[in-house]
Amino acid sequence: MKEILPFSTFNTDTSITCPNNKSIYVVAATAGFTAEGESLTFSSPISFSVPLKITTNITSATAKTIFYYISD
């Protein structure tokens, strides 16, 4: 049976809420944000070859700058 991979979307607000028992997987970002108690800043857009797993809410983001999906 072929596994169906999740698709990514982008944030439409300045935060992303992490649902219970799930994680946010960031695949790319064009601006910094705060997650896991750390402020992440980027000097240029970044894409991750392996998605960045976030287990907390993402805050202090700029709308339409984080490309992500939510999964187990």
Q: 7-59 pLDDT, tens per residue?
A: 889 999 999 999 999 999 999 999 999 999 999 998 899 999 999 999 999 99
- pLDDT, residue 1, reads 59
Q: 16-29 pLDDT, tens per residue?
A: 999 999 999 999 99
pTM assigned to the model: 0.89
Residue 26 · residue 54 · CB < 8 Å: yes
CA atoms within 13 A on the CB side of 70: 13
Confidence class of residue 66 from pLDDT cuts 50, 70 and 90? Answer: very high
